[in-house]
Amino acid sequence: MVYLARTRKRIDVVCQNSQCAYYQKLKGRNIIRKGFNKSGTQMYRCLNCNKYFVQTSGTPLYRKRLPPKKVEQLCRTLVEKNGIRSTARITQLNPITVMRWHDDLGAHAQHVNAYLAHDLGLSEYEVDEFWSTVKKNRNTTARKIFLLKARGKRGATLASSATRTFSSVSPSAGGRKRLARGY
């Protein structure tokens, strides 16, 4: 009987060691999974520099213990331009925790903007246009998902208030004259 080695699964992480030749580069990386740490998070090892890291290192989520839903709620309230205290009240977190998250998210956003401007050679205006496009696409995608979910309910299709049609005879009225509700 011949035993063949399993093929590697695709790993979507990059090396987080700044001294590595493949630091945050997708091409040429050679990363393997290497067990779990004490908290149960998947560990990775770069075979080029022999350093270990977790998937969240280099992100605002590194060494944070909030559940993903709480992080999402925190980010949504911060994006809505709520203050630190109101965000803390809404998310039921300590205001110091909210402030630290706010600082970490801001530093990460600056890092992403610097990457877009310096490494990709985009101007400040192009980066701003990029974020505007991302925001527009996110809004239209969310609306499309909402419409698809609404259509799936009871086989109905959504119509705007301008295109609603009102019939003088309701199909469920058994031929009696009754105005159909437009909802």
Contact 180, 167 (CB under 8 A): yes
Res. 175: pLDDT tops 60: no
Q: pLDDT category, 87, cuts 50, 70, 90?
A: very high
- In 3D space, the residue among 89, 92, 85 whose CA is nearest the CA of residue 69 turns out to be 92
Angle, CA 50 vertex, CA 44 and CA 52 arms, to 5°: 35
Helix (H, G, I), strand (E, B) or coil at 169: strand
Per residue in 1-45, pLDDT (tens digit) is 677 677 767 778 888 888 988 887 877 778 888 899 887 888 999
DSSP 119: I
Res. 151: pLDDT tops 70: no
Q: pLDDT category, 156, cuts 50, 70, 90?
A: very low
Q: How far apart are the first and last CA of the chain?
A: 67
Classify the C-alpha dihedral 62-64-65-67 as positive or negative: negative
Higher pLDDT among residues 181 and 151, named by residue: 151
**The model scores a pTM over 0.75:** no
**pLDDT at residue 92 in the model:** 94
Per residue in 63-84, pLDDT (tens digit) is 888 888 998 898 888 888 888 9
Neighbour tally for 23: CB within 10 Å: 16
**pLDDT at residue 142 in the model:** 64
Q: Mean of the pLDDT values across residues 103-123?
A: 81
β-partners of residue 23 are 15
Helix axes 84-91, 95-114, angle to 10 degrees: 110
Classify the C-alpha dihedral 152-153-159-161 as positive or negative: negative
**pLDDT at residue 150 in the model:** 65
Compute the half-sphere exposure of residue 128: CA atoms within 13 Å on the CB side of its CA.
3
Residue type, 32: I
d(CA 70, CA 61): 12
